[in-house]
Amino acid sequence: MKIAVLDWYTVNISGDISTDMLRELGEVRIIPLTKPEDTAANIGDADIVLCNKVLITREVIDSCPNLKYIGLFATGYNNVDVAYAAEKGITVCNAGQYSTNAVAQQVFAYILDHFSRVRDYDTAVKNGEWERFPSFSYFPIPTGELAGKTLSVVGFGSIGQRVAQLGDAFGMNIIASSRTKRDTPYRWADLDSAVREADVLTFHCPLTEQTKELINAELLGKMKKNAIIINTSRGGVVNEPDLAAALNCGTIAGAYLDVLVNEPMSPDTPLKYAKNCVITPHTAWAAFETRSRLVSIVCSNIRAWMNGSPTNKVN
């Protein structure tokens, strides 16, 4: 089997993940990044194409007659025309639940950053403020305990559930809200209640027509003024101008974002200099262990497909 990997750089930016597992499966061609106009040429006569964000459109599929399998280094698959792939007999498989622990961990890195203010106190210490203070303890920056705070989790798949478990371990009051109700020990509520009651409002939902720009002026206006919002789902869930305006005028206390509408970040995004807005460059999933697990799942998917029993098939 010939395998074309179109954007290996998105999985392996630092060169710490071996390609050995992939090479055990066939003749592999590694391409660091693929421009849209080069997609069909980079796939060439490959039987299998693997990608993360590269668009696999109807036109690309028609230009690659040998293509039999599309594997994704991701849970989302909106970059692939899955319906047309099915029509052409091409199997599409994603990599679900590889990043659950890493994303949940980053959510709590954000939460602890806000309530414990470690960065701010480190800056104060290095600026000499503690040295100049007469008492043994210097605490002009307000901090807070997580116990007793309300954590509203919107989207209750594997990541949302893990975030809820961590919040519960910290003694937080958990509210779960999602399109599909699940069996859970936590309180279930509609979105309006989850938003209004949250001290921390975190989003773990897919990007759909229903969730596009769900975080907008109307939703933000329902939040407590001292609440924070977290988005590690998809950038398009946020109306960025509305969020920037809410932050700059103090409608909410802060925002932590790992995803934006345009990635890499556009220089003119309204959130770049918004008040109390922390942005990380889509790193929640990027721990070494997480990326290693991702590649392992992708390879397992290919083996299962080769054996006639595809796993994680999305079409």
Q: What is the pLDDT of residues 257-276, one digit of tens each?
A: 999 999 999 999 999 999 99
Average pLDDT of the chain, as a whole number? 97
Catalytic one of 114, 234, 291, 293: 234
Tokens in use for 148?
């007793």
Determine if the pTM surpasses 0.85: yes
pLDDT of residue 14: 86
d(CA 33, CA 83): 25
Domains of the chain: 2-98+288-306 (3.40.50.720), 100-279 (3.40.50.720)
Q: Where are the beta strands (DSSP E) in the chain?
A: 2-5, 27-30, 48-51, 69-72, 91-93, 150-154, 173-177, 187-188, 200-203, 228-231, 254-257, 277-279
d(CA 24, CA 33): 22
Question: Which residues does residue 202 pair with via DSSP β-bridges, in sequence order?
Answer: 153, 230
Catalytic one of 59, 87, 145, 263: 263
Tokens in use for 110?
């954000």
Our answer to whether residue 234 is catalytic in this structure is yes
Q: What is the pLDDT of residues 203-250, one digit of tens each?
A: 999 889 999 999 999 999 999 999 999 999 999 999 999 999 999 999
d(CA 262, CA 266): 6
Residue 35 pLDDT more than 90?
yes
Tokens in use for 170?
């910290």
Residue 202: how many other CB atoms lie within 10 Å: 27
Distant-in-sequence, close-in-space partners of 39: CB < 8 Å, separation ≥ 6:
6, 54, 55, 56, 60
Catalytic one of 117, 196, 282, 303: 282
**Is-contact 186 176, C-beta < 8 A?**
yes
